[in-house]
Amino acid sequence: MIQRISKKEAEAWRKKLDYKPQLVWDVLKPQEEQKLWELGEAYKTFLNASKTERETVSELSRQLKRGGFHSVEGNRAGSRVFQIFKDKVLALAV
């Protein structure tokens, strides 16, 4: 059965459930905004260094090594590893 609600209750629900779009720049804290700009610059650097598949695999391999990954050969189970195939394909495993 449908329950009737008053205009006041309907207005309260509308205010509670209504979507209010906001720009991300209006709600970010200054340190979050700085991190966002740094991420954007790092991404642009990555794109500049990775124009082809081979350059992308090479750049990702370099970044993975800095992040604690190792080549899959000679590592025990549980390691963070990666494998490169024909300098065009990169596989990651944890």
Give pLDDT tens digits for 13-71.
Answer: 998 998 888 898 898 999 999 999 999 999 999 999 888 889 988 888 888 888 888 88
Which residues make Cβ contacts (< 8 Å) with residue 24, sequence separation at least 6?
none
Instruction: Enter the tokens of residue 68.
Output: 């604690």
> Does 2 or 11 have the greater pLDDT score?
11
56 within domain boundaries: yes
Alpha carbons 81 and 59: distance in angstroms, whole number: 16
Which pLDDT score, from 0 to 100, does residue 20 have? 85
Residue 75: give the domain boundaries.
Answer: 25-93
Which pLDDT score, from 0 to 100, does residue 29 have? 93
Cα Rg, the chain, nearest whole Å? 24
85 within domain boundaries: yes
Which pLDDT score, from 0 to 100, does residue 65 have? 87
Q: How many domains does the chain have?
A: 1
Name the H helices within the chain: 7-17, 24-27, 30-49, 53-66
15 within domain boundaries: no
